[in-house]
Structure 1
Amino acid sequence: MTNEPTVDQSLGLRPPATSVIGECLRIQSTVTPNNAAQRLFGVSPLGREAEPWYVGALGELEVARRLDTLGPGWYVLHSVPIGTGASDLDHVVIGPAGVFTINTKHHRGQNVWLGAKRLLVNGQRTDHLRNAAFEARRTSKLLSVAARMLVDVTPIVAIVGAKGMTVRERPTDVAVLREYELVRWLQRQPVTLTPEQVRHVATVAARPAAWKRTPEVEAVDHAAFDRLHAAVGRARRRRILWVLAAVAAMPFVFVTASLAAMSALLTR
């Protein structure tokens, strides 16, 4: 939660992407570390099965970074556990314009197509719209009961890192936004809650009981994820250096090969 430190922060202090980072690290712990040769040639230390969770975590962290700029009067919860299973809400935003659930989707380098009822990624149908609408309805029911007032919730799908997004028609029940559109869009929505209502809903939402969860301590090592992220970055940079070195060496190899060929012809 941001900007109002006096609000109950049992969930407000929860770091972004906690759930996906925990799962990423759990899977990554089963991966054999790279040996010296693999590190030298820039082989990524990230396991194949851990990669989707890693990419998802980066998307949630990017959206969280942008939500931090919303300003006074806005509250943000991240990775909110909901219900009795393993489900969580990527982000819950509470402010003058109302309550919003944000489902972050990191589609780096991919093409997104949006219609009134469909969202395609590289031509493949997704469940993003349906899942986001379900999350909002579920959140509305829980917060309405906990806050003892009607809490309308607007679902948002935040698209991170897409190569491009073609909008044929926007859905009427779910807002679909690029990550860089998110904050300005939220700030430009009409005011629907008074400051007192915002504060009340935010206070209630910060309590795990509002989400039908009991407080629990999760041993998620965010520093370990930071180290993994740094190692992945180092491996990528090393691969780039090897490619650049190979490109730089090509003229020398070509000249050497040409001289050798000429020498062979002259000695025949």
Structure 2
Amino acid sequence: MDNSGRMRDRVAGYAVMEQVVRLHGDVPPRSAVARAFGVRPLSAGTRPWFDGALGEREVGAMLDRLPDGWTVFHALPVGNGDADIDHLVVGPGGVFVVNTKNHQGAEVWVGERAVLVNGAKKPYLRNSELEASRIRQVLATAGLVAPVNAVVAVLGAKKLTVRQQPARVAVLAAGGLNRWLTRRPAGVDQATVDAIVRIVDDPATWRPAHGPSGAGSATVERFDAIAREDRAARVVRLGWLLAVALSALAVALPFLPH
């Protein structure tokens, strides 16, 4: 897969990682006691953003393994404020706007007009359609015509039930995303694919982004440090759980039948 260029150098989850770093900067450091008991370093308000960034990074790594002929972009800044497109994939089957949703251990239900997560309705279909329409406008402005498809990639769900696929958005398990993409019928000639890639790759096409967004940027390095700290806290918690379980077993052992 072609990995050279400008906008395609943006790393997956970059905009969300920026938010995590900003929010985490306002959280006081954990006390020695909190660290000893494995209290998470993340505040309750930061955790959804953190999980979202992890999800985008995981799906981004999957997409980066697509075969030659496919080009992948991540964290494209669109519209106003901090809005971005998680992933944009361009290939023989057209253009695919991929919205990653990380729902570890949740039950996700998909119907013709709604997506429910643990019974709560989410605006994923509307948001994905809006993102696809923005990309259609980008192509139209450049005089390009190609099918633009909206996709929601669900990651980590305990159960994904697709009662009926929505008409304008494909909702898929993230693990099957690459296979689904490469099985789309070819509908765009190579010259059009190349023209779309050039337009998307041009920073002038998008809202100006702040600061470097490559893998070696300060934001990515700080996020990785936060992630390591969170993983270390989880290991400590698991150690305490194991210690409690072994203690309970030691107390109960004399009363167990031999």
Please indicate the TM-score interval, normalised by the length of the shorter structure: over 0.9
For the residue of structure 1 that corresponds to 2:191, the secondary structure is helix
Q: 1:217 aligns with which of 211, 217, 220?
A: 211
1:130 alignment counterpart: 126
Distance in 2, matches of 1:204 and 1:244, equals 54
Contact 1:18 1:220 in 2 (8 A): no
Relative distance call for 1:100 and 1:255 in structure 2 (3 A) is: closer
Contact 1:157–1:177 (Cα < 8 Å) also in 2 = yes
- Which one-letter code corresponds to 1:217 in the other structure? G
The answer for the alignment partner of 1:241 in structure 2 is 239
Structure 1 position 216, deviation (Å): 4.5
Gaps of 5+ in 2: none
Equivalent residue runs for 1:139-154 within 5 Å: 139-146=135-142, 148-154=143-149
Read off the aligned partner of 2:87 and give its amino acid letter. Answer: H
When Rg is computed on C-alpha atoms for both structures, the one with the higher figure is 1
Q: 1:178 to 1:199 in 2, by over 3 A?
A: same
Query: Equivalent residue of 2:9, what SS?
Result: coil
Q: CA RMSD in A?
A: 1.6
User: What is the deviation of 1:220?
Assistant: 5.1
2:161 corresponding residue in structure 1? 166
Code of the aligned partner of 1:81 = P
Residue 38 of structure 1: aligned partner: 34
**Cα separation, partners in 2 of 1:80 and 1:114, compared to 1, 3 Å:** same
**Counterparts of 1:191 and 1:151 in 2: how far apart (Å)?**
11
1:37-186 correspondence to structure 2 within 5 Å: 37-146=33-142, 148-186=143-181
Query: C-alpha displacement at 1:197, in angstroms?
Result: 1.5
Look up the match of 1:251.
Answer: 249
Displacement after TM superposition at 1:151 (Å):
3.2
- C-alpha change, 1:250 and 1:19, in structure 2 (3 Å) is same
Counterpart Cα distance in 2 of 1:84 and 1:132: 16
> Given the alignment, which residue of 186, 195, 200 partners 1:200?
195
Distance in 2 of aligned mates of 1:108 and 1:51: 12
**Aligned with 1:192: secondary structure?**
coil
Contact 2:69 2:91 in 1 (8 A): yes
Cα pair 2:3 2:9 within 8 Å, conserved: no
- Verify the 8 A CA contact 2:96 2:150 in the aligned structure 1: yes
Aligned letter for 2:141? Answer: V
Q: For the residues of structure 2 that align with 1:56 and 1:220, how far apart are their CA atoms?
A: 19
In the alignment, the residues of structure 2 paired with residue 24 and residue 41 of structure 1 have an alpha-carbon distance, to the nearest angstrom, of: 23
Secondary structure of 1:143's match? helix
Aligned match for 1:228, one of 226, 229, 248 = 226
- Normalised by the size of structure 1, how large is the TM-score? 0.89
SS of 1:150 mapped into structure 2: coil
Which sections of structure 1, spanning at least 5 residues, go unmatched? 259-268
Q: CA 1:215–1:41 in structure 2 vs 1: closer, same or farther (change >3 Å)? A: closer
Fraction of identical pairs, as percent? 37
How far apart are 1:4 and its partner, in Å? Answer: 5.0
